[in-house]
Amino acid sequence: MRIHLQSSHLVAIIAIALIAALLLAVKFRPATWRGMLFEAVIANVGALLAVLAFEVLTA
């Protein structure tokens, strides 16, 4: 199975990551830069997995 990420997938990854980071920041309200970095990494990993799952399901 081949996964082909196109520019529209990258836009979706960025959009999902930004929304997830915003929701995490509202929920947990990190006080340190490490907390914000951790939330950003978690949001980006989640966005990447969401787009990859969609790509696998629609391929």
Residue at 28 is within a domain: yes
Residues 6+ positions from 2 with CB-CB distance below 8 Å: 59
pLDDT tens string 15-45: 888 888 888 888 888 889 898 888 888 988 9
Residue at 30 is within a domain: yes
pTM of structure: 0.74
Total number of domains in the chain: 1
The angle that helices 33-58 and 7-28 make with each other, rounded to 10 degrees, is 140
Residue at 43 is within a domain: yes
Amino acid 1 reads M
Sign of CA dihedral 41, 14, 32, 23: negative
Residue at 18 is within a domain: yes
Range of the domain at 25: 7-58
Compute the distance between CA of residue 31 and CA of residue 49 in angstroms, rounded to an integer.
27
Residue at 20 is within a domain: yes
DSSP conformation class of 5: -
